[in-house]
Amino acid sequence: MSTVQPKDDKTASKEKYGYFLGCVMPVKMPWAEKATLLVSKHLGLDFDYMKETLCCIRPGVWRAIDPDWWLTLTSQNLASAEKQKITLVDSCNGCYISHYETLKELKEEPDKMAMVNKNLAKIGMNLSGTLKVRHFLEVLYEDVGIDKIRANIKRPLKLKITRHLGCHARDRGNSPMPRYFDEILKATGLEIIDTPYDLTCCGLLYYFSDPNSAIYQRAGKKIETAQGLGVDAFVIICSGCYDQFERTVKIMSAEKGVKLDVPIVHLSEVLALAFGYKPEDFGMEYCRPIPTTKLIEKLKEEK
Amino acid sequence: MSNEKPPKSWTKLEETGKGLTDHKLEEEMRQNPWRRPFRAGAPDIAKASLKRDFEVGLVYYVGDDVEQDRALCGLDRKPPTAHLFKDALEKKKVLLDEVGVVKRLGFDKKKGKFEY
């Protein structure tokens, strides 16, 4: 394990952050989970896991079936975060929108809050609605700040990338998150190549109803475009989207013989590398459908 | 849905969902043509992930392979989710019952299967 000292070790914020892993991150993206913990501590955040977490639960599915189910089941996570006295931090856009919108709706509608608390009382829990729900991008940009991120860059990354932010990080009207994402990526030295598919959905929820369009016209189109441009990596932040990209890579390889070789990399990995951590510090080379070997070799050559 | 044949993994997921269903609705409708038609609570394609959610509290299991991958990345073998904290899962199961999810989707907890 390399020891990289942060440039400014003052605590960025007194807030206590609880990282909500969700379903996909701990199972399919352990490298991103580890990199997120490294980066957060490196930046001086009081950042640790939120414990006892359950599925967020997916608003695209559950809210459509029964909004009261969605509000109640999501509130178990919110009440748990409140009890743990943490600010709930999501890096999966699906988890974020579920937590954020549930909390907003319950705070605006006392009748719904009463309904939820009546249900939560049956498991000995209660939600007051005082907790905060933040996206990891908001924590990085608003609480840490782009200047501090820049000050901690030890090894600027001379790489070309395409990126995918994901729908739910941009769908709150004038969400600043697309700007946060790009500014943080650029701060690490990366060159972002724009594509006509940057705003296209990954197709995750679409997969159940129309798998071919979800694979070949959504996620597949985006990764093939990245491959055609010859970029070094395809950078994402949302683990829900990653689930769909991973599925797409496997299906395109198995069913069409398409071999994709642009690795799908999480924002936290990019930051960890730029802060001077080595790929082996967070297991970058393990358990992914597109190996990162070529990218790691290129990083070694740049030294 | 496009006319092209769905991917094998999608078909497999749907077959798994059918395997998790006690009564085959299409077959029973053919056998009882006068019975009033109704829709199953959950579509076959979603049943496998619903079952995992109901039984584990999250959409994916953490098995030996996942634990090994996590260890390779320098993490604890089990994540601090309901995979580890069973009390959170038990509470979720109570909520699933209380708000009517289990009944309306026809999930038999003992059998781990859907009625329709």
Q: How many CB atoms lie within 10 A of CB A298?
A: 15
Packing angle, helices A267-274 and A30-42, rounded to 10: 50
Tens-digit pLDDT profile for residues B56-100: 999 999 999 999 999 999 999 999 999 999 999 999 999 999 999
Share of chain B above pLDDT 70, in %: 98
Instruction: Identify the pLDDT of residue A11.
Output: 47
CA distance linking residue A250 with residue A246, whole number of Å: 6
Instruction: Identify the pLDDT of residue A211.
Output: 96
Query: Minimal Cα–Cα distance from B39 to chain A, Å?
Result: 13
The answer to whether the beta carbons of residues A42 and A9 sit under 8 Å apart is no
Asked if A256 has any chain B CB less than 8 Å from its own CB, the reply is no
3-state SS, chain B, equals CCCCCCCHHHHHHHHHHHHCECCCHHHHHHHCCCCCCCCCCCCHHHHHHHHHHHHHCCCCCCCHHHHHHHHHCCCCCCCCECCCCHHHHHHHHHHHHHCCHHHHCCEECCCCEECC
Instruction: Identify the pLDDT of residue A64.
Output: 83
Asked if B96 has any chain A CB less than 8 Å from its own CB, the reply is yes
User: In chain A, what is the greatest distance between 2 CA atoms, to the nearest angstrom?
Assistant: 61
Measured CA to CA in angstroms, residue A63 lies from A56, A59, A102 at distances of 12, 5, 10
Instruction: Identify the pLDDT of residue B41.
Output: 86
CA distance linking residue A279 with residue B19, whole number of Å: 42
Where exactly are the structural domains of chain B? 8-107
Tens-digit pLDDT profile for residues A45-80: 999 999 999 999 888 888 888 999 999 999 999 999
User: Which residues of chain A lie closer than 8 angstroms to B94, CB-CB?
Assistant: 122-123
The listed CATH number (3.30.450.20, 3.40.50.1220, 3.40.50.11810, 1.20.870.10) that belongs to domain A154-302: 3.40.50.11810
Question: Which residue, chain included where needed, has tokens 């990345």?
Answer: B73
The answer to whether the beta carbons of residues A77 and A20 sit under 8 Å apart is yes
Instruction: Identify the pLDDT of residue B24.
Output: 85
Instruction: Identify the pLDDT of residue A230.
Output: 97
Instruction: Identify the pLDDT of residue A140.
Output: 98
Q: What are phi and psi of A277, to 5 degrees?
A: -75, 155
Specify burial of residue B111 (Cβ count, 10 A radius: 0-12, 13-18, 19+).
Answer: exposed
- Which regions of chain A are under pLDDT 70? 1-13, 172-173, 303
Instruction: Identify the pLDDT of residue A5.
Output: 60
Q: Which two tokens stand for residue B96?
A: 């699933």
Q: Tell me the pLDDT band of B106, cut-offs 50, 70 and 90.
A: very high
Instruction: Identify the pLDDT of residue B4.
Output: 85
Asked if B74 has any chain A CB less than 8 Å from its own CB, the reply is yes
Asked if B25 has any chain A CB less than 8 Å from its own CB, the reply is no
Q: Which class would CATH give A16-136?
A: mainly alpha
Asked if residue B1 has pLDDT above 90, the reply is no
- Is A122–B94 a contact, with Cβ atoms under 8 angstroms apart? yes
User: Which residues of chain B lie closer than 8 angstroms to A277, CB-CB?
Assistant: none
What SS3 class is residue A128? coil
Type of residue found at B69: D
Q: What's chain A's length in residues? A: 303
Q: What is the ipTM of this complex?
A: 0.93
Instruction: Identify the pLDDT of residue A59.
Output: 83
Asked if A64 has any chain B CB less than 8 Å from its own CB, the reply is no
Where exactly are the structural domains of chain A? 16-136, 154-302
Asked if B45 has any chain A CB less than 8 Å from its own CB, the reply is yes
CA distance linking residue A141 with residue A135, whole number of Å: 10
Same fold for the pair A16-136 and A154-302: no
Q: Which of B6, B8, B57 sits opposite A55 (nearest CB)?
A: B57
Q: What are phi and psi of A177, to 5 degrees?
A: -65, -35
Asked if A204 has any chain B CB less than 8 Å from its own CB, the reply is no
- Is B10–A283 a contact, with Cβ atoms under 8 angstroms apart? no
Nearest-CA neighbor of A154 among A43, A264, A277, A16?
A277
- The per-residue pLDDT of chain B, averaged, comes to 93
User: Which residues of chain A lie closer than 8 angstroms to B87, CB-CB?
Assistant: 52
Instruction: Give the pairing type, strands A16-20 and A46-49.
Output: parallel
Write the DSSP assignment of A224-265 as a string of letters: HHHHHTT-SEEEE--HHHHHHHHHHHHHHHHHH-----S-EE
